[in-house]
Structure 1
Amino acid sequence: MTGRAVLAAGSGDEPPVTVPRDPARDAARRELSKRMYHENDPSLLQRALNAFWDWVDRLFGTAASATPGGTVGLVVVILFVVAALAALWWRLGTPDRRAVSAAALFAERPRSAAHHRAAGEAHAAQGHWNQAVQERMRAIVRSLEERALLDTRPGRTADEAAAEAGRVLPAHADRLRAAAREFDDVTYGGRRAGEQSYRRLTELDHDLERTRPTLADSTTGTARSTRQGAAE
């Protein structure tokens, strides 16, 4: 009989007893909805996480099946993409590098070039190459100011100092620009300097000390060539 459950009688003479099926199902549902039966059920957060990881697993499986080489091929592709992104970050630095690199070269009260050189050597002796590079670049700019090749300007940036010094000492313009980039990279770009970076700035500092500026000839308007080598 549709919609009803039939119970066999205790004896063959008694008619069968029928129990409505829907009330029984409702009673079972109410019983199973009690909290005691759900104490060990996963939380809403756990269910969401399980659903997310199931989705990731399906996505990974689909990508692996579509990639030559299967799972191994997909892993190789992922590693290649990660390596490319890391190389791009290393080449360009952090996204806000250009915005903050306009800060002044000298953040403290003016100190002599000799003081900056000594500070750079002290950092280099301890292997603190970032600080050593910073102090050597400051020594270069301060030395040019002390020689009156640059005007003393506390708010000057490393890039501005390199551009101005390059006009006075054109033979070293490229190295000056490279030194300014090195300073910006370690100071604002989140890069790490090494011993070679510091040695390059030290050599530039020494070469600049032995270099005379290019002076304009007042009668012909031409420039006399820069003389390099040890000062007399």
Structure 2
Amino acid sequence: MPVSGEDTPVTIPRGPAREAAEDELSKGIYHRNDPSLLERALNWLWEKITHLLDTASGAAPGGTVGLVTIIVVIVLLAVALRLRLGKVRAQPTTGPGMFADLPRTAAEHRAAAEEHARRDQWAPAIQERMRAIVRSLEERALLDPRPGRTADEAAAEAGRPLPEHAARLLDAARVFDDVTYGDRPGTPEAYKTLRDVDSEVQRAKPQLTETAADTTGGARP
């Protein structure tokens, strides 16, 4: 008996059938519960970490327990080292110059230093006292006024006409650098050191070199 056309099965080639299925599955209705891109990335990262820990625990003595013990010991050592060393400080560096504000006299810097000291503000007191030292040397023509000069440079240059005070001047400059650029707190003892250096330098008599004596018309021995 002949088969009617209505009973003939419909066949679709494999390629178009696959494309039709992919188009259908790409619709949003089928992906409402899919993880987000972030969730997939976190899942991938967690898988990598888990794999790494599994590998490490297999190599570490005692397996997972041994690995955890090693991590705990490392953390405790890091904490102990941090407590032992205290706050990590940057190495002192010299800045663009000592005098950032309008020009002031040595007496004005000394007055500002004493006012800071009266208020227990030791870091600015130290800074102002060092500025007083350098400005005093400039006022006495032992240093030429030069913008941008650092405390270290001033101390080194002043040590030539004042060799007996060269070491003390360098120490004062280091204290200035520590509180200004090294993030170190000022102390009353450090301020007293700079105040003493200031007093000593004010009373000191410079020793002119032969070159300086010739320039000023002095007689050479």
Instruction: Quickly name the TM-score band, shorter chain normalised.
Output: 0.5 to 0.7
Shift in CA distance, 135/35, structure 1 to aligned 2, threshold 3 Å: same
Name the count of aligned residue pairs: 188
- Write the distance in 2 (CA, Å) between the matches of 1:141 and 1:40: 74
1:92 aligns with 2:72: no
Task: Tell me the CA shift for residue 50 of structure 1.
Answer: 3.9
Task: Tell me the CA shift for residue 180 of structure 1.
Answer: 2.2
TM-score by length of 1: 0.60
Q: Partner residue of 1:44? A: 37
Q: Which runs of 5+ in 1 are unaligned?
A: 1-25, 221-232
**3-state SS of the aligned residue for 2:99?**
coil
1:92 partner amino acid: Q
Q: Which runs of 5+ in 2 are unaligned?
A: 1-17, 211-218
Task: Answer yes or no: is the 8 Å Cα contact 2:130–2:173 preserved in 1.
Answer: yes
Q: Partner residue of 2:115? A: 122
Task: Answer yes or no: is the 8 Å Cα contact 1:149–1:165 preserved in 2.
Answer: yes
**3-state SS of the aligned residue for 1:122?**
helix
Task: Tell me the CA shift for residue 71 of structure 1.
Answer: 3.0
Task: Tell me the CA shift for residue 140 of structure 1.
Answer: 1.2
Answer 1 or 2: higher relative contact order, Cα 8 Å, separation at least 6: 2
Task: Tell me the CA shift for residue 103 of structure 1.
Answer: 1.0
Q: Which of 130, 155, 173 lines up with 2:148 in the alignment?
A: 155
Shift in CA distance, 125/169, structure 1 to aligned 2, threshold 3 Å: same
More helix by percentage = 2
Task: Tell me the CA shift for residue 144 of structure 1.
Answer: 1.6
Q: Partner residue of 1:143? A: 136
Task: Answer yes or no: is the 8 Å Cα contact 1:123–1:129 preserved in 2.
Answer: yes
TM-score by length of 2: 0.62
**3-state SS of the aligned residue for 2:206?**
coil
Q: Partner residue of 1:180? A: 173
Shift in CA distance, 214/60, structure 1 to aligned 2, threshold 3 Å: farther
Deviations 1:115-147 (A, max 9, x none): 112222333344443322221211110122223
- Write the distance in 2 (CA, Å) between the matches of 1:91 and 1:150: 30
